Amino acid sequence: MVNNENTTWSRHIQLGNKTSECTRLFEFLADSLEQLPVTKEFKHDLKLVSEELLANIINHGYDSHADGAIDIELAVDGSSVRITFTDSARAFNPLERKPPDMLNDLSEGGMGILLVKSLTDDQHYKRDNNHNVFTVTKNYNK
């Protein structure tokens, strides 16, 4: 599947609204990134970022027991990997989350999005046709 002229190739998976879907997410990433000329650390970073974004949608977007789908598209061009998460949960922009309170209470939230911002080169959220669309980009030819 080719979406635009800048995309070399892309892959897609649909996950359910439950944390046990982490396993399928990790398998999808491992398969997709296997042939890319990137380091283990690069792959690990994207795995962590994707896990954080999936958990965000499950915990803050959908109600805990609501059925809901999460579509993930991974697109690769010659210099970067772009991963887009699309869900139909209530509007939720993770970039608006408060940073964690480092001094007093790290058991509260905000750590996930801090990791996402630290480990990717670009993050973008939009609300589009009643869907949350969140895209992260990580460059590998710097």
* Nearest-approach distance from CB 15 to another protein, in angstroms: 12
- From candidates 1, 4, 20, 128, binder to another protein by CB under 8 A: 20
Exposed e or buried b per residue across 17-48, where buried means at least 16 C-beta atoms within 10 angstroms of its C-beta: beeebbeebeebbeebbeeeebeeebbebbbe
Residue 92 makes CB contacts below 8 A (sequence gap 6+) with 56, 57, 60, 61, 132
- From candidates 88, 115, 133, 137, binder to another protein by CB under 8 A: 115
- From candidates 10, 15, 52, 135, binder to another protein by CB under 8 A: 52
Residue 111 lies near another protein (rule: CB under 8 A): yes
The nearer residue to another protein, 7 or 123, going by C-beta atoms, is: 123
Amino acid type, 128: D
- From candidates 41, 67, 96, 128, binder to another protein by CB under 8 A: 41
- In the sheet with 131-139, reading across from the earlier edge strand, the strands are 9-16, 69-76, 80-87, 131-139, 122-128
Looking up tokens 């630290």, which residue turns up?
118
* Nearest-approach distance from CB 18 to another protein, in angstroms: 8
Binding residues (CB under 8 A) for another protein: these are: 19-23, 26, 41, 44, 47-48, 51-52, 54-55, 58-59, 100, 102, 106-108, 111-112, 114-115, 118-119
